[in-house]
Structure formats: C-alpha cells, structure tokens
Structure 1
Amino acid sequence: MTEIATPGSTSDDAVDEALSALAGLEEQPLRNHVAVFEAVHGSLQDRLADAEG
C-alpha cells in the first residue's frame, strides 16, 4: 500500500488542523475516505473564506 506523506506545518493552525485529519487515512476503510475528504475540503474552504475577508 502506498503511504501518504504527512505535510509539515503550514504556519496556519486552521489549515494544519484540517490536514491532520488525513493522517492515518490509509489505515481506515475506503468507505470512510469520502467523508474525511469532504470534511477537510469544507474546513479549507472556510479558512479561505476567512482569509479573503
């Protein structure tokens, strides 16, 4: 199985927290992946909206 690289700090706590949800994802059942991806995507969209003001 291919291992997903864990990103380093982005210096943005909200982004780092969102990306931390991806850690260990390869060990979870595939059926859980979509929900995790959607949650991360939503968190990153929220952070981007906050940054844009």
Structure 2
Amino acid sequence: MWNLDWKDVFLKKRYARLHETKNVTRRDVPLSSEAIRLLKLLRRNKSVKVLNTS
C-alpha cells in the first residue's frame, strides 16, 4: 500500500491495483465505501503517491 500510485486507484470501478504483492503477481483489490470516501479526501493533495511519507 505504501507504493500505491493514484494511477492505480479506480474510484468509479471501486478497486485498487497492487503491483507488488507477496506472490509477485498483480492484484486488483476491491474498495469499500469507506475506503473510497477516505481516498477522495486524500486525493486533494495532488501528489503521485496515495500515501505520501515525506
């Protein structure tokens, strides 16, 4: 999740695409209504990464 980019978040389709998983395969993860609400709030920061650690 720390490496998640906005280009991999599909709010209208309600999923996020993870490229680095335990078994090294790409995975699409469904997003709950609460996750979508929170992601919309985070989207306002206009950064490339969803979770900016700097």
| Common topology (TM > 0.5) | no
Task: Point out the structure with the larger strand share.
Answer: 2
Which structure has the bigger radius of gyration? 1
